[in-house]
Amino acid sequence: MSFQKIFLFDFDGVIVDGMQEYWHSSLLACERYLNSPNITIDQKLYQGVPNSFKEIRPWVKYGWEMILIVHEIIKTENPLRSDNKDDFINNYHQNCQRILNENFWIAEDIQKMLDKSRKYQIDKDFKSWINLHKPFF
C-alpha cells in the first residue's frame, strides 16, 4: 500500500472573507436546531452581518462559540450590541461558559448544530452557500 502526503490549506480569513457564512450558518443553526425560548428569528437578520458580530468574531476560537454570539445578539432581552460588546469581550471565555451553563448546553452539541447547518445549506443549495464566501481581492 502506498501513502501519499496531502497538504490542506485553510484560506478562510486569509484570501477568503467568510464573515457572511459565519453569520448565516450560525443564525440558521439558532433557527433550526437551538430551540432557545430567548430568541426570535426575523428573516431580515439574514440580509447582513451585524457590526457587533464582526467586532466579536476575532475572539472566536471554536466554531460553536459563533452560535453563542449570534444567540446573544438576537435574544429578545438585553441583546448584545456594539455599545455593550466590550464587557462581553473583556470576559469572553467566561461569558461563553456562562451562556453554556445558563442554557444547559454542551459545546460539542452546539458544534454539531453548526455542522448540521452547514451541511443543510450545502445539500440544499451549494452555490448559494459558496457565494457567502467572498474573496478579499
29-64 pLDDT, tens per residue? 999 999 899 998 999 999 999 999 999 999 999 999
For a pLDDT cut of 70, what percent of the chain falls above it?
A: 95
- Would you state the pLDDT for residue 10? 66
Using DSSP, state whether 134 is helix, strand or coil: strand
**pLDDT level of residue 12 (50, 70, 90 thresholds):** low
What CA–CA distance (Å, rounded) separates 81 from 136? Answer: 26
Phi then psi dihedrals of residue 12, to 5 deg: -65, 120
Tell me the chain's radius of gyration from C-alpha atoms: 16
Mean pLDDT of the chain: 92
Residue with cell 468574531: 57
28-38 pLDDT, tens per residue? 999 999 989 99
User: Grid coordinates standing for 88?
Assistant: 462581553
Phi then psi dihedrals of residue 129, to 5 deg: -65, -45
**pLDDT level of residue 11 (50, 70, 90 thresholds):** low
52-97 pLDDT, tens per residue? 999 999 999 999 999 999 999 999 998 998 889 999 999 999 999 9
